[in-house]
């Protein structure tokens, strides 16, 4: 599904990603861990198509197509979704209208008719119940005045609405208390199937108790320096990141 | 001969062409003298520092167009708010069009200025109100000198006018270039309520310059809501001079939606003569190319316990330019005044510019006055967020801009008008999405 080959990316001439290789197949859950500043969020942004970053070398393939030249919205239309570490507040645009516009623009891009209003409302009701989101929330301005946990829950609500093939969760656990973490994780697990894939980016192992990864990768200084199974995450939790740095001689 | 000379020398011919009532004649004669003395304003004047009229004054305007061109309603229907029942006062090239209009004398007067100026039954109102709010500045004086046609609206006391009133000035431009001087008078008596929508629409690519004066009197506890749709062709320019005199406990609001036109200057003046008056001035400006929109507002707080609310949003693309000059005067007697002013702008292009200048002159000591102006760009992280959800760049941009200006629309009390403005904004931003936010 996702195949990243020797990906190099920089921002304002500062090189951040220095040769990433990663393959994610349908049905898999991958975790990307690593210390602060290792390039985790950059990797997420580059896959989603943030224009501030320049891909200087390498390719990103999604379902066999090179997508590194595509605009963010085109990647979204193909089924790429990024749950933001810091969801942006957009005053004046309600959650409902934002979702309606996003879904209908994606449908338009796929040559489909707009979704009938009745179906849209039903879908919104269903998905918001799954994430235990209060109906009042949906008419509020997107993310404006939301608590950290509310913002993250709202990200997963959007994911549930858009049903992406590949979901990248960037530090979705940060700012969540344990109850919110459970709701968010169970939402993600309900959306998982053999046809879609999830990449979880996290600093801590905690979220991985709920969203169990098939593979764990350690990112350090713009490269994946170690890959393994979920036991690797436990090891990192117990020993911190320093031993990895020593192992790779950084 | 330049435009000023042409206008001054046309004055006698103009007055000879109409029925001259003695009172109006005196007012006009005084006015042409003021204009002759002052001439058109130049950038040397502080109030005109950022707006030059040179580019619009150089045309060879026909200064009082003679003939009415017939227009079919079906061809111009789109310029009306047509999905609700309204009174209509329609002008074509400065002349009244009876077949497009729907006026009334049933308990209220919604009719023509020319009739009010010449018929004895209106004489008292004319003598009490005509030219009693307008300033003696050169452009208002010029309009007064040539004042003859426009809307005359008189709502006697205790009347709630259910239907909004539409005033539309069309120009068809058979003449190579046309100058129009529409003159509106609105008198709303005690406890009465009226809603008015005004629009100037050119149907030609020939230059049009409109120098309009509207005088509005909101008497005790009256409610007046006035909406201006400025979405004209980029060959048409408008100088709008609006003067509102309010008596105690009255509520008056003016919403100005500026999307079209070559050069627009809005001189909007509120005078509060009484206690517990509320004045609202709001505007959305969305322009591009080389368009220019200038909002020059004045709120004069004269007596205690009054409020004023100003909220102007501007979005400027390409090489367009904007001006906001908001003056609030709080007299010594006007204690407990609440005066708010906000002007927020987004510059979409490096070549667009906005000059924004709040001007507060406060002589009372127990008041709350606030003002704030901001100039920014579209939030790039919000753009990426929306695009990552599949909303294309153009639509994402439009949604952000609409959200930015939306709170001005929220106070529009006519739903069909709100919908229409929303649609105009979507068109202006080149998108086809519903903004039911």
- Backbone torsions φ then ψ of B116, nearest 5 degrees: -65, -35
Q: Which residue's structure tokens are 């002589």?
A: B363
Instruction: State the first-to-last Cα distance of chain B, in angstroms, to the nearest integer.
Output: 53
pLDDT of residue B406: 86
Instruction: Note whether B410 and B436 are within 8 A (CB).
Output: no
Other beta carbons within 10 angstroms of residue B357's beta carbon come to: 15
Residues of B in contact with A90 (CB under 8 A): 382, 385-386, 400, 403
Sorted by sequence, the CB contacts under 8 Å of residue A240 that are 6+ apart come out as none
pLDDT of residue A23: 97
pLDDT of residue B256: 98
Domains defined for chain A, CATH in brackets: 2-248 (3.40.50.300)
pLDDT higher than 70, residue B116:
yes
pLDDT of residue A174: 86
Alpha helices in chain A, H assignment, sequence order: 40-48, 72-78, 95-109, 117-130, 148-162, 178-191, 230-239, 242-247
Instruction: Note whether B249 and B219 are within 8 A (CB).
Output: no
pLDDT band at B32 (very low <50, low <70, confident <90, very high): very high
Between A72, A73, A101, which is nearest B433 by CB? A101
Q: Rounded distance, CA A45 to CA A32, Å? A: 14
pLDDT tens string, chain A, 250 residues long: the values are: 999 999 999 999 899 999 999 999 999 999 999 988 899 999 999 999 999 999 999 999 999 999 999 999 999 999 999 999 999 999 888 999 999 999 999 999 999 999 999 999 999 999 999 888 988 889 899 999 998 889 999 999 999 999 999 999 999 988 888 888 999 999 999 999 999 999 999 988 889 999 999 999 999 999 999 999 999 988 888 888 888 878 876 5
pLDDT of residue B23: 87
For B71, B140, B259, the CA distances from B75, given in Å and listed in that order, are 7, 33, 21
Q: Rounded distance, CA B321 to CA B330, Å? A: 30
pLDDT of residue B429: 87
pLDDT band at B434 (very low <50, low <70, confident <90, very high): low
pLDDT of residue B136: 94
**Per DSSP, what are the bridge partners of residue B324?**
B295, B356
Among chain B residues, CA nearest to A114: B433
Q: Does B432 touch chain A (CB under 8 A)?
A: no
Would you kindly state where each structural domain of chain B is located, as residue ranges?
Answer: 3-394, 395-437
Average pLDDT, chain B: 94
Sorted by sequence, the CB contacts under 8 Å of residue B153 that are 6+ apart come out as B108, B109, B110, B111, B165, B184, B185, B186, B187, B188, B194, B196
Q: Does B410 touch chain A (CB under 8 A)?
A: no
CA angle B74, B171, B66 (to 5 degrees): 115
Share of chain B above pLDDT 70, in %: 97
pLDDT of residue B176: 82
pLDDT band at B87 (very low <50, low <70, confident <90, very high): very high
pLDDT band at B22 (very low <50, low <70, confident <90, very high): confident
**Residue among A221, A146, A156 at smallest CA distance from A189:** A156
Q: Rounded distance, CA A131 to CA A187, Å? A: 6
pLDDT higher than 80, residue B119:
yes
Between A72, A97, A98, which is nearest B384 by CB? A72
Per-residue pLDDT of B238-288, as tens digits, reads 999 999 999 999 999 999 999 999 999 999 999 999 999 999 999 999 999
Joined together, the tokens standing for residue B127 give 């003598």
Per-residue pLDDT of B367-417, as tens digits, reads 999 999 999 998 899 999 999 999 999 999 999 999 898 889 989 999 999
Mean pLDDT of B199-203: 95
Q: Which residue's structure tokens are 């090179």?
A: A66
Q: How far is B403 from chain A (nearest CA, A)?
A: 4
The ipTM is: 0.95
Q: Rounded distance, CA B113 to CA B117, Å? A: 6
Q: By three-state DSSP, how is residue A154 classified?
A: helix
pLDDT band at B66 (very low <50, low <70, confident <90, very high): low
**Per DSSP, what are the bridge partners of residue B230?**
B258
pLDDT of residue B437: 46
Residue B243's Cβ-side half-sphere holds a number of Cα atoms within 13 Å equal to 18
Is B390 in Cβ contact with A76 (below 8 Å)?
A: yes
Instruction: Note whether A244 and A225 are within 8 A (CB).
Output: yes
pLDDT higher than 60, residue B436:
no
């Amino acid at each position: 599904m996702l195949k990243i080959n020797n990906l190099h990316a920089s921002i304002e001439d500062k090189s951040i990603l220095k040769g990433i290789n990663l393959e994610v197949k349908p049905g898999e859950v991958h975790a990307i861990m690593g210390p602060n500043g290792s390039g985790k969020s950059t990797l997420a942004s580059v896959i989603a198509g943030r224009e501030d970053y320049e891909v200087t070398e390498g390719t990103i393939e999604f379902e066999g197509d090179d997508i590194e030249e595509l605009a963010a919205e085109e990647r979204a239309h193909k089924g790429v979704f990024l749950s933001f570490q810091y969801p942006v507040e957009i005053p004046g645009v309600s959650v409902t209208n934002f979702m309606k516009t996003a879904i209908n623009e994606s449908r338009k891009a796929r040559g489909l008719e707009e979704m009938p209003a009745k179906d849209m409302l039903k879908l919104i009701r269903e998905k918001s119940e799954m994430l235990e989101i209060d109906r009042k929330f949906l008419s509020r301005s997107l993310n404006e005045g939301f608590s950290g946990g509310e913002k993250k829950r709202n990200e997963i609500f959007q994911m549930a609405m858009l049903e992406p093939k590949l979901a990248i969760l960037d530090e979705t656990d940060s700012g969540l208390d344990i109850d919110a973490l459970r709701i968010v994780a169970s939402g993600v697990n309900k959306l998982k199937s053999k046809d879609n894939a999830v990449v979880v980016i996290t600093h801590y192992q905690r979220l991985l108790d709920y969203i169990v990864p098939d593979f764990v990768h350690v990112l350090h200084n713009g490269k994946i320096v170690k890959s393994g199974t979920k036991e690797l995450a436990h090891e990192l939790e117990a020993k911190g990141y320093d031993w990895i740095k020593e192992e790779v001689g950084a | 001969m330049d435009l000023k000379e042409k206008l001054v020398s046309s004055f006698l011919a103009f007055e000879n062409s109409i029925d001259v009532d003695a009172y109006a004649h005196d007012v006009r004669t005084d006015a042409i003298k003021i204009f002759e003395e002052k001439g058109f304003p130049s950038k040397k004047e502080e109030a005109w520092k950022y707006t030059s009229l040179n580019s619009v004054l150089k045309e060879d305007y026909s200064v009082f167009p003679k003939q009415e061109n017939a227009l079919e309603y079906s061809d111009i229907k789109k310029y009306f708010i047509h999905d609700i029942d309204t009174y209509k006062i329609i002008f074509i090239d400065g002349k009244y069009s009876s077949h497009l209009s729907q006026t009334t004398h049933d308990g209220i007067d919604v009719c023509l200025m020319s009739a009010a100026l010449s018929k004895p039954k209106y004489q008292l109102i004319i003598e009490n109100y005509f030219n009693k709010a307008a300033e003696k500045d050169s452009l208002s004086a010029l309009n007064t000198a040539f004042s003859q046609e426009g809307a005359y609206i008189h709502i006697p006391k205790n009347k709630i006018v259910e239907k909004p009133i539409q005033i539309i000035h069309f120009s068809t431009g058979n003449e190579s270039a046309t100058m129009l001087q529409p003159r509106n008078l609105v008198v709303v008596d005690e406890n009465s309520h009226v809603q008015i929508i005004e629009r100037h629409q050119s149907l030609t690519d020939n230059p049009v310059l409109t120098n309009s004066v509207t005088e509005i009197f909101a008497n005790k506890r009256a409610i007046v809501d006035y909406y201006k749709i400025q979405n004209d062709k980029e060959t048409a320019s408008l100088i709008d001079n609006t003067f509102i005199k309010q008596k105690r406990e009255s509520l008056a609001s003016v919403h100005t939606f500026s999307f079209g036109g070559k050069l627009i200057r809005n001189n909007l003046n509120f005078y509060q003569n009484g206690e517990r008056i509320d004045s609202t001035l709001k505007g959305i400006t969305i322009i591009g190319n080389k368009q220019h929109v200038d909002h020059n507002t004045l709120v004069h707080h004269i007596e205690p316990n009054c409020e004023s609310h100003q909220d102007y949003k501007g979005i400027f693309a390409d090489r367009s330019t904007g001006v906001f000059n908001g003056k609030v005067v709080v007299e010594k007697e006007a204690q407990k005044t609440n005066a708010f002013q906000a002007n927020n702008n987004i510059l979409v292009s490096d070549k667009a510019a906005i000059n924004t200048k709040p001007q507060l002159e406060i002589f009372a000591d127990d008041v709350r006055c606030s003002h704030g102006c901001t100039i920014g760009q579209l939030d790039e992280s919000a753009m990426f967020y929306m695009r990552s959800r599949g909303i294309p760049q153009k639509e994402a941009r439009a949604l952000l801009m609409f959200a930015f200006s939306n709170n001005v629309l929220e106070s529009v009390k006519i739903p069909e008008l709100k919908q229409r403005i929303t649609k105009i904004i979507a068109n202006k931003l080149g998108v086809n999405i519903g903004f039911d936010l």
